[in-house]
Amino acid sequence: MAPSSLCNILLLFFLLFHHVNLSLQHKHNSTSFSLSFPLTPLSLSSNNTSKMLLPSMVLKRNPSPPQQRRTSSYNYKLFFKYSMALIVNLPIGTPPQVQPMVLDTGSQLSWIQCHNKAPPPTPSFNPSLSSTFSILPCTHPVCKPRIPDFTLPTSCDQNRLCHYSYFYADGTYAEGNLVREEFTFSRSLFTPPLILGCATESTDPRGILGMNRGRLSFASQSKITKFSYCVPTRQNRLGSQPTGLFYLGNNPNSVGFRYVEMLTFGQGQRMPNLDPLAYTVALQGIRIGGKRLSISPAVFRADAGGSGQTMVDSGSEFTYLVDEAYDKLREEVVRVVGPRIKKGYVYGDIADMCFDGNVMQIKRLIGDMVFEFEKGVDVVIPKERVLADVGGGVHCVGIASSDKLGAASNIIGNFHQQNLWVEFDLANRRVGFGTADCSRLGK
């Protein structure tokens, strides 16, 4: 979710909620379509990646007559050193300026950089160059303290314009004005003006593409009925540049996908620990090395207070489990590789199942991990991808306790979405999974 690969769960001053269902359209004729974008997992640390970003591209739009307008697709592909944030570069404004944004299915508000404080060549959006840019006044309904399913700290600045502040769990933040702007995919294909954040202060040079089910997310405002992405395999070799694919609309690879129902929550189900606009699924159990852990399926579902929901989140790097599930998993890992665990070591204050011994041997001992869903749908994590290389010769199981986040949810992060198609079918309220060689697809 966020400008830190470890703090991808957005914690707002007030909880930022999310939902609805909206789709990209021609300016004069609404139509369904598909677009594909290479996705690049990217380190969010500006010191080792900002120098690798291409400068902003400005493309002129020469609209063709309405009768000649047709569905078109734009491909953007950038190479970065691998980390676990998924960055897609999107053309914004008229004429378009390409902006790097973190693809985040766990947040609602999309925002872009609108200041020049980031070191070049990190691109920053220049509002003065766009003829379709406008700022929301304080009188706009979105700027009110509370509206249904969307709560964001807003205020009036000295110019009576709508100011917002967005804070993250790791102490990073973004603040600026709420604005309207178009995403321009080609001369004939662009969104209507969407409400975005235009950050004038932030601690990271990239923006966020909010893709949850909230009515102000990109997915909702642009009327997308489905989208999908394929996360490439993490590479540890210096200079490796894996990319994956991101589709808005139909995915030509979806024939073999297996689907699970998306759990939804009504307006009357506001619970303190529930995120009603996340992509919530019914996880049934977890297997490690062929052994099914003795965890009740109820642990993976929201209880009366909302704790325990299981969500699929592209913006979270690792997977997080509530303590009842995490303790069982850790107990099994300790049973099979206990003496090899690096004692007293916790990576990033979250991961405490870490090793600095023979990695291949440890992977064999742990074996494959499987997430079991309803209808017999299994997501298999091969033993080769159970451990994350965290540097310094240390490898950690990519799972942590959600209690360390101050959350009460089960979160399937993008580390466990490698070499998977993950499709969010909003129209049919379901999530699809399909195996793939995502690194090859992104070439």
CATH of the domain at 112: 2.40.70.10
Q: Are residues 228 and 271 in the same domain?
A: no
* pLDDT score, position 112: 94
Q: Are residues 235 and 311 in the same domain?
A: no
Alpha-carbon dihedral sign for residues 336, 341, 343, 346: negative
Q: Are residues 198 and 281 in the same domain?
A: no
pLDDT, tens digit (0-9, with 9 covering 90-100), for 84-130: 678 888 899 999 998 988 899 998 999 999 976 555 556 789 999 99
**3-state class (DSSP) for residue 272:** coil
Nearest to 386 by CA among 349, 424, 427, 332: 332
* pLDDT score, position 288: 96
Q: Are residues 224 and 331 in the same domain?
A: no
pLDDT, tens digit (0-9, with 9 covering 90-100), for 170-201: 567 889 999 999 998 777 777 889 999 999 88
Q: Are residues 207 and 280 in the same domain?
A: no
Q: Using the predicted structure, report yes or no on whether residue 242 has a pLDDT greater than 80.
A: no
Its domain, for residue 47, covers 35-239
What CA–CA distances, in Å, run from 199 to 58, 90, 196, 313? 20, 16, 9, 23
Task: Say what percent of the chain tops pLDDT 70.
Answer: 74
Nearest to 177 by CA among 154, 194, 193: 154
Q: Are residues 182 and 274 in the same domain?
A: no
Q: Are residues 194 and 311 in the same domain?
A: no
What CA–CA distances, in Å, run from 142 to 147, 149, 151, 249, 339? 7, 11, 9, 27, 55
**3-state class (DSSP) for residue 16:** coil
**3-state class (DSSP) for residue 353:** coil
| Whether the Cβ atoms of residue 291 and residue 387 lie closer than 8 Å to each other | no
Q: How many domains does the chain have?
A: 2
Q: Which of 28-32, 208-212, 280-284 has the lowest mean pLDDT?
A: 28-32
Question: Among residues 239, 268, 291, which one ends one of the domains?
Answer: 239
Q: What is the pTM of this model?
A: 0.82
Q: Are residues 185 and 85 in the same domain?
A: yes
Q: Are residues 288 and 224 in the same domain?
A: no
Report the distance separating Cα 252 and Cα 209, nearest Å.
Answer: 23
User: Regarding predicted confidence, which is higher, 69 or 326?
Assistant: 326
User: Which pLDDT band holds residue 146 (cuts at 50, 70, 90)?
Assistant: low
* Six token digits for residue 396: 């950690």
Q: Are residues 268 and 390 in the same domain?
A: yes
Residue 5 lies in a domain: no
Residue 23 lies in a domain: no
The DSSP letter of residue 143 is G
* Six token digits for residue 9: 């769960």
Would you please indicate which residues are annotated as catalytic (active-site) residues? Answer: 104, 313
